[in-house]
Amino acid sequence: MEKIICGIQQMGIGVPDVQEIWKWYRKFFGLDVRIFEEAAEAPLMTRYTGGKVHSRTATLALSMEGGGGFEIWQFTSRNTEKPTFDIALGDYGLYSCRIKSKDVTATFEYMKKNGANILGEMNKTPHGSPHFFVEDPNGNIFNVVEEKETFQHTKFPGKTGGVAGALIGVSNIENSLKLYADILGYSVVEYDETGVFDCFSGLPGGDKKVRRVLLSHPELRKGPFAPLLGPTKIELIQAVEREDCKKIFENRFWGDWGFIHLCFDVQGMEALKKECESKGFEFTVDSGETFDMGEAGGRFSYIEDPDGAWIEFVETHKVPVMKKIGWYINLKNRKQGKALPNWMLKAMGMNRVKG
């Protein structure tokens, strides 16, 4: 099987209270479809949890507007630790999660009206696209960006969908392109600018000069969930003036407070593993055969980008459509690259959580 990057499945977010923050995400982003919710130990992640098996609870939530989901992740065997320093623009790792909006102005007004903590004002990217930054109650920063493509029109008043990519702090953009462009397929440079940018003025460290490169993929993604996950972009940020950049997860565990991983839905995991190894990005975690997530299952693996940010790959084998009647999709024997029919993807919306 060839390697296929089907899209961003989810952004992992370490939180102190899953249910409390998910209420906020439902209210402000409309991610109200629960794909799975599971409490268990994480024995395969001991490399990143101090050599000890820890327990956790995790919820995967999606928006039927399209885009990737959130894997909202909480330790239950220890406290969720915050960073010991104030994270600033240019620090290494997953700095901000991009959220798609079909009407950025309407989203801005909705969030403002409902009391969200907006960082700065609505601004434009170097190529003229409207966007703004908003902070959740845990201090995580989200970048609301324009994306007109919608999987399904919902009645969510905030006009947003799910994950549309990430803003990632790196030490050397050319080194990072070996992963994000060459392996993950973000090979189109939409802009490459260096300076002090007004749109970053509301961010910690946003008054410093940076180089920013926005990457997109040249063709539509393909695979079972590609129509739902939709197009995504990666923005790499390299500090030019700062000499004190730190790793966002320095001296902390995977699963701690913040954006813990960027997860890609993939097919052809073995081919991907060989390519990653040949280019210097060896799998640091690999579940091997199907790993059971209670209501979902698949094979998952991790690599690290050149600055240690965690990138997860999931080859989905089983996913629930209607749990109440035991309706699950088995993807193991499905033709590679083929999308599930829209009616089947839309049926996942029946797992919506109200309120």
Q: Report d(CA 341, CA 338) in Å as an integer.
A: 9
Q: At residue 355, does pLDDT exceed 90?
A: no
Confidence at residue 291, expressed as pLDDT on a 0 to 100 scale: 62
- Model pLDDT, residue 146: 97
pLDDT reading at 348 higher than 90: no
Question: What phi and psi, each to the nearest 5 degrees, are found at residue 113?
Answer: -65, -35
Torsion angle of C-alpha atoms 115, 119, 122, 126, degrees rounded to 10: -160
Q: What is the DSSP string of 264-328?
A: EEEE-HHHHHHHHHHTT---SEE--SPEE-SS-EEEEEEEE-TT--EEEEEEEEEEEEEGGGTEE
pLDDT in tens, 234-244: 999 999 999 99
Cβ-contact 291, 299 below 8 angstroms: yes
pLDDT (mean) for 71-84: 97
Q: What is the dihedral of CA 189, 190, 196, 201, to 10 degrees?
A: -120
> What is the distance of C-alpha 276 from the center of its chain?
20
- Residue 24's pLDDT band (cuts 50, 70, 90): very high
Q: Give the pLDDT band of residue 321 (cuts 50, 70, 90).
A: low
Q: Output the domain CATH number for residue 24.
A: 3.10.180.10
- Report pLDDT digits (tens) over 149-176: 999 999 999 999 999 999 999 999 999 9
Q: Is 104:122 a contact under the CB 8 Å cutoff? A: yes
- pLDDT of residue 290 exceeding 60, the answer is no
Cα–Cα nearest to 119, from 207, 211, 187, 58: 207
* Integer Cα distance of 299 and 267 in angstroms: 10
pLDDT at 127 over 60: yes
Q: What is the pTM of this model?
A: 0.95
Tokens of 201: 């003025």
Res 334: pLDDT:
81
E strands within the chain? 4-14, 33-41, 55-62, 69-75, 93-101, 117-124, 130-135, 141-146, 160-169, 188-195, 210-216, 233-239, 258-267, 285-286, 291-292, 297-304, 310-322, 327-330
Radius of gyration, CA atoms only, the chain: 19
pLDDT at 294 over 60: no
Average pLDDT value for the chain: 94
Report d(CA 229, CA 221) in Å as an integer.
9
Distance (Å, rounded) from C-alpha 85 to C-alpha 247?
Answer: 10
Whether the per-residue pLDDT at 293 is higher than 70: the answer is no
Give the residue numbers spanning the domain of 64: 4-351
Q: What is the pLDDT of residues 172-212, one digit of tens each?
A: 999 999 999 999 999 999 999 999 999 999 999 999 999 99
Number of domains in the chain: 1
* pLDDT surpasses 60 at 118: yes
Which stretch of 30-39, 111-120, 134-143, 253-262 has the lowest confidence by average pLDDT?
A: 30-39
Amino acid found at 227: P
Q: From CA 130, how far away is CA 209, in angstroms rounded?
A: 21
- The whole-angstrom separation of Cα 270 and Cα 291 is 15
